[in-house]
Amino acid sequence: MERRKFIQSMFAATAVAAIVTPTTIFAEEAKKAAKKGPNDMTFDEAVKAITEGKELKDSDKIKLTVPEIAENGAVVPVKVNVDYPMTEKESVTAIHILNTANGNARCADVMLTPANEEAYFATRVKLSKTQEVVALVALSDGTFIKAGKSVKVTIGGCG
Binding status of residue 106 toward other proteins by CB under 8 A: yes
One residue of 9, 113, 150, 154 binding other proteins per CB under 8 A? 113
One residue of 9, 123, 150, 154 binding other proteins per CB under 8 A? 123
One residue of 93, 120, 129, 132 binding other proteins per CB under 8 A? 120
Binding status of residue 56 toward other proteins by CB under 8 A: no
Binding status of residue 140 toward other proteins by CB under 8 A: no
Binding status of residue 101 toward other proteins by CB under 8 A: no
User: Of residues 74-93, which lie at the interface with other proteins (CB under 8 A)?
Assistant: 74-76
Beta bridge partners of 136: 96, 146
Min dist CB 81 to other proteins, Å, is 9
Taking the C-alpha atoms of residue 127 and residue 107, their distance in angstroms, rounded to an integer, is: 10
Q: How far is CA 123 from the centre of its chain?
A: 16
Query: Any residues with CB less than 8 A from the CB of 55 and at least 6 apart, and which?
Result: 143, 144
Binding status of residue 38 toward other proteins by CB under 8 A: yes
Q: How many CA atoms lie within 13 A of 115 on its CB side?
A: 2
8: left (phi over 0), alpha (psi -120 to 50) or beta: alpha
